[in-house]
Amino acid sequence: MQDKELFNMVLGEGEEILKTYRPHKFRAFFTQILSWVLLLLLVGICCWGMAVDGESGSITGVIIIGSVFVVFAIVSLILTGMWCKKTVYAITNKRVLIRTGRIGVDYKSLDFSMLGAITVNVTWVDKLLHKNTGLIAFGSMSSPLTTQGVAKFAFNFIQNPYEVYKEVKAIIDLNKKEN
């Protein structure tokens, strides 16, 4: 099934998908892995302190904590994979659509008439990876952008964010004039 067909059930009368985008998988997984590595360092320091103290049962505690940590990390990576598989972003001739989910599928939409702002955010992690990824966030009166550009309506981990921004902005401007 093509990405455009995934939105058929939520398209309105006379509405057509003009462009679809998918999140960059490596970038999504890297974020999860980086989070778990940082958490591992924190937990490792605490566990090392327990093991050095030589208290009775401290090695067993370290093994239990480590095992729980590994299970949660694996589950997190599986859920990230499920999110990547189901997430598709689309621009129609009337609105911005976001299809996402892990177990089920959820749709969010923002009509062009409600759209107030679009921002592009390229983080230090995006720059560090040299994958040319970023976030494009959409703001409205009901869902404003925060000072960090975080919004309810966002295209996360998008490849070529500045080019996508220009494409999306051109489509929105053209269709706002027509309607």
Q: Where are the domains of the chain?
A: 16-23+89-178, 30-81
How far is Cα 86 from Cα 74, in angstroms, rounded to an integer? 19
The answer to whether residue 96 scores a pLDDT higher than 80 is: yes
Does 2.30.29 match the CATH number of domain 16-23+89-178? yes
End-to-end CA distance of the chain: 31
pLDDT value of position 143: 67
38 — pLDDT class (breaks 50, 70, 90): confident
Window from 15-24, 66-75, 161-170 with minimum mean pLDDT: 66-75
Assess whether pLDDT exceeds 80 at residue 55: no
**52 in helix, strand or coil?**
helix
Q: Which amino acid is at 36?
A: W
Q: How confident is residue 49, by pLDDT bands cut at 50, 70 and 90?
A: low
CA distance 131 to 172: 26
